[in-house]
């Protein structure tokens, strides 16, 4: 099988795996009534699977393709905004404030979490280095 064709089917299989995890987690959330979106639960499942040793190569190329094409997934939402022109005229400034504050909040929390994990990782490396030096 040619390399490009093999690569295409590998990406397709990885996207299929990610979609299957999302569908299963969405089904589970609907059945149990968990107050968490199925996609968030699915992301957590993928994270746990990676922590348990599932190779990143099983999902990496498919995830990269989905991220690269993410704009396509938002176009329908933007087109749907045309239907609610009156809402945007009357409440548009409030929506913009919420969008801006929400984005800023997500960015700040993400920065704090990443910073904290880098500090933890640094402390673990120092402890490991001290352990090696002591032995």
84: pLDDT strictly greater than 90 = no
Average pLDDT over residues 64-86: 77
92 and 41 inside one domain: no
- Report the mean per-residue pLDDT for the chain: 89
Same domain, 48 and 80: no
Give the domain-ending residue among 22, 45, 68.
Answer: 68
Q: Do both 90 and 44 map to the same domain? A: no
Domain extent, residue 58, equals 1-68
pLDDT at 80 over 90: no
Return the pLDDT at 1: 67
Residues 47 and 87 in one domain: no
Q: Which residue has the tokens 């393709």?
A: 65
Same domain, 35 and 89: no
Q: What is the pLDDT of residue 50?
A: 93
Tell me: pLDDT of 135 over 90.
no
* Residues 16-57 pLDDT 10s: 999 999 999 999 999 999 999 999 999 999 999 999 999 999
Q: Which of 68, 94, 110 is the last residue of a domain?
A: 68
Of 41, 68, 95, the residue at which a domain comes to its end is 68
Q: Is-contact 19 59, C-beta < 8 A?
A: no
Question: pLDDT tens digits, residue range 57-72?
Answer: 999 999 999 888 887 7
Examine the domain organization and report whether 49 and 11 are in the same domain.
yes
Cα 19 off chain centre by:
13
Please check whether residue 29 is in contact with residue 38, taking contact to mean a CB–CB distance below 8 angstroms.
yes
Q: What size, in residues, is the chain?
A: 135
Q: What is the pTM of this model?
A: 0.56
Structural domain count, the chain: 2
Q: What was the pLDDT predicted at 53?
A: 92
């Amino acid at each position: 099988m040619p390399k490009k064709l093999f690569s295409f089917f590998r990406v397709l299989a990885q996207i299929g795996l990610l979609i299957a995890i999302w569908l299963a987690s969405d089904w589970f959330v609907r059945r149990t009534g968990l107050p968490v979106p199925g996609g968030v639960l699915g992301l957590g499942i993928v994270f746990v699977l990676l922590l348990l040793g599932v190779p990143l190569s099983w999902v990496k190329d498919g995830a990269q393709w989905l991220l690269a094409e993410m704009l396509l997934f938002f176009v329908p939402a933007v087109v749907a905004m045309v239907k609610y022109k009156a809402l945007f005229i009357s409440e548009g400034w409030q929506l913009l404030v919420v969008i801006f504050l929400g984005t800023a909040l997500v960015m700040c929390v993400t920065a704090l979490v990443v910073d904290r994990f880098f500090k933890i990782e640094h402390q673990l490396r120092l402890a490991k280095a001290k352990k090696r030096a002591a032995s």
